[in-house]
Amino acid sequence: FWFLYGFDAEEDLVGNLASMSTKERIKAIQKMPETMKKKREIRNKVLKEISKKSRHHGGQPSCCTQCLQGAAVSFRRFGNTLSEYFHQLRVWHKTLKIIGAEFGTSVLSYFVFLKWLLNFNIFSFLINFSFITIPQFLAAEPNNLSFTGLELFTGAGYFQQTVLYYGFYTNATISKIENGPSYNMQLAYIFTVGIYFVICFLILLFSMAKFFSRNFVNPQAFSVNASKLLCTWDFNITNEKAVKLKQKNLHTQIKEDLTEVNKEVLNFSVMERALRFAIHLIAWVASLGIAVAACTGVYFLSINNLKLFMKGYKNDLEGQAAMLVLPVIVSLLNTLIPFFFSWLGHLEKFQTPGQHIYVTITRNIILKMSIVGILCYYWLNIVASSESQCWETLIGQDIYRLVLVDFIFCLLGSFFGEFLRRIIGTTVCMRLGPPEFDIGRNVLDLIYAQTLTWIGILFSPLLPGIQMLAFLIVFFVKKVSLMRNCQPPRKVWRTAQMMTSFIFLLFCPCFLGVLSVIGVTVWRLKPSEECGPFRGLSSMYAAVDEWIRILESYTASKWVVWIYHNLITCELFFFILSSFVLIVIYLYWQIIQGRKTMTKLLRKQITN
């Protein structure tokens, strides 16, 4: 290293770098344990040395060569500047580092999951807005309803005649130029929603696989050794704040790893085991009983609410207020009952915080998905067969209100569950202390909100945009509440598998359940006669059948018809495809088992 041995060593270093190829020289400079300023100085000296050699060996480069070199350097500088600006725009990057350093990976996993869902909804909004909403603007008629402001809470009134809901979209083929290109709104609507769910399926599947391989299969996730202590420090860090943040982060990681190593296995007597089993059984019976009671209440309330809605109200204000009864009650249940589940978890006294979180998450997912299931039954079996002129818009309004009220209750939960709890714990009852961040309850709030958004996409295409704004606000509100109101977990523990579990819960009960709801709506329910792009059809999917019948008359489109009849609607094709997928999964499973065996053998050899 030239900075240790003086000027002669510096000249040798510059000479060696000048003799390398461009790629080798860039890699060698990048690997130097120096600041960016020093690296730039070395690079400039090397470039000067190369230019001297080129002048010595030959004449001046041609004008064309100089222009190309100058353009390449300018583009590279522009790219570096642009990447720095984009890095600064990622407002959550520094926030996540601070949270990980202060509160550990368990709390950090919640914010990583929230950021992941935020990006997911941005993608959803862009797809729906591009292929469904923008074409509808070209055929939209003026809205004659007045805007009062209450629509922001109820989703009714003025919003009924906007692109927010299914009923406003036309069933016509949009064409602004005579004899020009046209846009079939029926096909655009069903194909956009269908392809979107296929993409969602693949994203969730690959995300689960990525996190699984990173946290379960990767042997580094299980190894705790001196490398984290001796080889982790980044010597490019010179800023004092960044140094302190890195120190805190390393300190938290080492504590988590030591907790894993020093984990004690408690041995209980027979009586203690029997008592613990009885407590767990009573807690599960109580939690399941409360979930059943909540679902029963939601079912009867929703039916009664629909009857009152069909009868009509004396005045508009009373009708608007009645619309909010169901979402407020549902959000109250989803907010208050998880606090009871957390209290039950503390009574059960689990051996590790991980067990407490996973049990709480399981109870919350049973509660929330049961309520969503009851609401879906109410929408598809009762609202869809009601006398409403546009039952799809009615469902879209219900889901809009549920999403909005759930967002408001999420903010209120941060105030009452964390801010007031801190005031009580630090002034009234000092022994309680500040609260810890409830990961299980907060994660299930996100999964519940995302499930509602998926269900509502068919009935309200712009719902992902509303959820995107809600998640963005929740991110910063939760961050401020965490920093000001909560204390780090008393028991530090490592959560390598937490993110994998969150995405699995989002995929397995939630996304697959949404697919079944969308499938029933598209294939079995009759659309409204007076609204929406599928009016007058026996089902939404009938639009695809009509399109295929039209294509049969065109010779150039025979291949599309063949694919539809022989692949998409053929049960044998899906049976063969499923068999092939199962064989591939089995082969990969065997490969993983073989790699695990090889890893064990290599560890034994290292130990020896």
Contact of 252 with 104, CB cutoff 8 Å: yes
pTM score of the predicted model:
0.78
**pLDDT tens-digit readout, 580-607:** 989 998 998 899 889 889 989 998 888 8
Say how far apart CA 91 and CA 69 lie, in whole Å.
35
Q: Is the model's pLDDT at 222 over the cut of 70?
A: no
Sign of CA dihedral 519, 523, 525, 529: positive
DSSP 44-57: HHHHHHHHHHHHHH
**For position 269, what pLDDT does the model report?**
75
pLDDT at 82 over 80: no
Tell me which amino acid residue 104 is.
Answer: G
Beta partners for 108? none
Segment 39-64, tens digit of pLDDT: 888 888 888 877 776 666 555 555 66
With 70 as the cut, is the pLDDT of residue 17 above it?
yes
Residue 124 predicted with pLDDT over 60: yes
Confidence at 97, pLDDT banded by 50, 70, 90 = confident
What's residue 466's pLDDT?
94
pLDDT digits (tens, 9 = 90+) for 544-585: 989 888 888 888 888 888 888 888 888 888 899 899 989 998
Q: What share of the chain is helix, strand, coil (3-state, %, to 5)?
A: 75, 0, 20
**Tally of residues, the chain:** 608
Query: 604 burial class (0-12, 13-18, 19+ CB within 10 angstroms)?
Result: exposed
Q: What is the pLDDT of residue 496?
A: 55
Closest CA to 127 of 197, 174, 181, 185: 197
Q: What per-residue confidence (pLDDT) applies to 400?
A: 94
Give the sign of the dihedral formed by CA 484, CA 490, CA 491, CA 492: positive
Cβ atoms of 518 and 380 within 8 Å: the answer is no
Is the pLDDT at 176 greater than 80, yes or no? no
Contact assessment for residue 477 and residue 90, using Cβ atoms and an 8 Å cutoff: no
H, E, C per residue of 338-383? HHHHHHHHHHHCCCCHHHHHHHHHHHHHHHHHHHHHHHHHHHHHHH
Statement: residue 430 has pLDDT above 50: yes
Residue 391 in 3-state DSSP? helix
The distance of Cα 260 from the centroid of its chain, to the nearest Å, equals 28
Amino acid in the structure at residue 163: V
**What whole-number distance in Å separates Cα of residue 2 and Cα of residue 160?**
72
Confidence of residue 221 (pLDDT cuts 50, 70, 90): very low
- Taking the alpha carbons at both ends of the chain, their separation in whole angstroms is 36
| Residue 330 scores a pLDDT above 90 | yes
Q: What is the mean pLDDT of residues 195-204?
A: 92
Q: Where are the domains of the chain?
A: 104-261+268-537, 570-607
- Cα atoms in the Cβ-side hemisphere of radius 13 Å centred on 145: 13
HEC string for 188-245: HHHHHHHHHHHHHHHHHHHHHHHHHHHHHHCHHHCCCCCHHHHCCCCCCCCCHHHHHH
pLDDT tens across 501-550, in order?
888 888 988 999 999 999 999 999 999 988 889 998 999 999 998 988 88
pLDDT of 349 reads: 78
Distances (CA, A) of 362 to 27, 242, 365, 534: 48, 38, 5, 39
Q: What percent of the chain has pLDDT over 90?
A: 26
Instruction: Decide if pLDDT at 402 tops 90.
Output: yes
Structure tokens at 253: 């990681």
| Kind and range of the H or E run holding 173 | strand 173-174
Show Cβ contacts of residue 257 under 8 Å, excluding neighbours closer than 6 positions: 224, 228, 494
Q: What confidence tier does 220 reach under pLDDT thresholds 50, 70, 90?
A: very low
At 255, is the secondary structure helix, strand, or coil?
helix
The predicted pLDDT at position 91 comes to: 60
Rounded Cα distance, 345 and 283, in Å: 8
Q: What are phi and psi of 183, to 5 degrees?
A: -130, 110
Q: Are strands 183-184 and 173-174 parallel, antiparallel or unpaired?
A: antiparallel
Task: For 139-165, write each residue's pLDDT tens digit.
Answer: 777 777 778 878 888 888 788 888 999
pLDDT 10s digits, 497-507: 677 888 888 89
| C-alpha atoms less than 13 angstroms from C-alpha of 513 in its C-beta half-sphere | 25
Cα→Cα distances 599→59, 219, 221, 586, 608, Å: 59, 8, 13, 20, 14
In the predicted model, is pLDDT for residue 70 greater than 80? no
Query: What type of residue sits at position 196?
Result: Y
Q: Which two tokens stand for residue 328?
A: 């407020």
Confidence of residue 223 (pLDDT cuts 50, 70, 90): very low
Block residue for tokens 């520094």: 94
Instruction: Give 173's strand partners.
Output: 184
Q: Comparing C-alpha atoms, which of 503, 587, 516, 585 is closest to residue 205? A: 503
- What number of CA atoms fall less than 13 Å from residue 211's CA on the CB side? 19
**Mean pLDDT to the nearest integer, 266-291:** 85
| Cβ-proximal residues to 576 (8 Å cutoff; 6+ apart), any chain | none
